[in-house]
Amino acid sequence: MEICDFALHRPASLAEACEMGRMLGPGARFLAGGTELLPDLKQRRDVTRHLVDLRSVPGLRDIRLDSSYLHIGCLATLSEVAESSDVHKTLPALSEAILSMAAYQIRNRGTLGGNFCGGVPSADTPPICIAAGAQVRLAGVDGERTLPAEQFFLGPRKTVLDPGELLAEVLIPVQPARSGSSYQRFALRRATALAVVGVAARVALEKGRITQARVAMSAVAPVPMLAAECSGILEGQSPVEEVFERAAKAAALASRAISDLRGSAGYRRDLVRVLTLRALREAAARAGTRPA
């Protein structure tokens, strides 16, 4: 296979990268790990002629924890995120979600930014980030903006990114003391298989009551989605099985699954119920109180 006729650009700063992206227009794409991009280029799925390599921009690969946020730079590889002690401290379920996907070879190259920007509905890292209340910091020619992660996705392979705009980092808020998270996933194989359904849950407890709860899902809608209904059902309640079941049913109802070669819509909806239940049980257990 020949990939000869692509021009490579190496910006020295984030601002220069954005400027290049805008000037080169729809024929340009940002290059991070390349695991999504190279198959696209090979199959000529798009009109790409220019690649703006983000590796030359300093600082985009950093993972750092400050008093309010865990910052994960868009170029941090999935392996680096999964192995980061700051990630283990802040959101261990993100590490688990990453280790459930693909295989070593892909995780060593693929990046968190790429997993977001690919806009694939079955992506595994967005749901757990959304459940944890993550935000995305976008950098563009006209400056920066920060959005809740669930608002980043518009449709399959579509995101809110404007031409010349890129996802600079994912910001995960430091989780409250008595909180726990879980990512539950079902796929046809243990590795190198897209999720049939993935469900992430985050639960915070105080004095035996759920104070905060968020459930997010993948592969059951055109975008990774927040099941907002679940929060209303769970918050203020005791972390008991009956409450979890109600939330799980609401999540299944909220899902907009389609049938494809990996599973039918009906099967997926039932999986959402089962996986939400498991995710809530685990998240609550990790938050410190055994669900009754």
Q: Does 15 bind another protein (CB under 8 A)?
A: no
Name the minimum Å distance from CB 292 to another protein.
33
Contacts to another protein from residues 77-136, by CB under 8 A: 79, 102-106, 108-109
| CA dist list (Å): 60 to 75, 97, 148, 185 | 5, 22, 20, 29
15-36 burial by CB neighbour count: b if 16+ within 10 A, else e?
Answer: eebbbbbbebeeebbbbbbbbb
Q: Does 158 bind another protein (CB under 8 A)?
A: no
Q: What are phi and psi of 135, to 5 degrees?
A: -120, 160
Contacts to another protein from residues 16-35, by CB under 8 A: 31, 33-35
Retrieve residue 91's tokens. 């959101």
Q: How far apart are CA 178 and CA 207, in angstroms?
A: 10
CA dihedral 127, 129, 133, 134 (to 10 degrees): -130
Q: Does 44 bind another protein (CB under 8 A)?
A: no
Retrieve residue 157's tokens. 């392979």
Tokens 């996907």 correspond to: 101
Q: Does 211 bind another protein (CB under 8 A)?
A: no
Closer residue to another protein, CB minimum distance, 6 or 267: 6
DSSP secondary-structure letter at 77?
B
Q: Does 261 bind another protein (CB under 8 A)?
A: no
Identity at 129, one-letter amino acid code = C
Find the part of the chain contacting another protein (CB under 8 A) among 4-12, 124-132, 222-230, 265-273.
4-12
Contacts to another protein from residues 185-204, by CB under 8 A: 190-192
Among 51, 219, 225, 254, binds another protein (CB under 8 A): 51
**Where on the chain is the footprint of another protein (CB under 8 A)?**
1-6, 8, 31, 33-35, 38-39, 41-42, 51, 53, 55, 79, 102-106, 108-109, 190-192
